Amino acid sequence: MRPDLRFVFSHPAHFLACGFGSGLSPWAPGTAGTLAAWLLYPLIRPQFSDLGFALFLLAGFVLGVFAAARTGRALGVVDHGAIVWDEIVPFWLVLLLAPPGWLWQSAAFFLFRIFDIVKPQPARWIDTHVKSGFGVMADDVIAAGYTLLVLALALKVLG
CB count, 10 Å around CB of 158?
8
* Cα distance between residue 16 and residue 94, in whole Å: 19
Per DSSP, the three-state class of 132 is coil
Q: Which amino acid is at 145?
A: G
Looking at residue 4, its pLDDT comes to 92
Looking at residue 1, its pLDDT comes to 80
Residue range of the domain that includes 29: 5-158
Count of structural domains within the chain: 1
- In this structure, which long-range contacts are made by residues 24-30, counting pairs with CB atoms below 8 Å and at least 24 apart in sequence? 24/82, 29/81, 29/82, 29/84, 30/81, 30/84, 30/87, 30/113, 30/116, 30/117
CA dihedral 110, 113, 117, 121 (to 10 degrees): 90
Looking at residue 143, its pLDDT comes to 98
Looking at residue 12, its pLDDT comes to 98
The whole-number mean pLDDT for each consecutive block of 10 residues of the chain, a chain of 159 residues, reads: 93 98 96 98 97 98 98 97 98 97 97 98 97 97 98 93
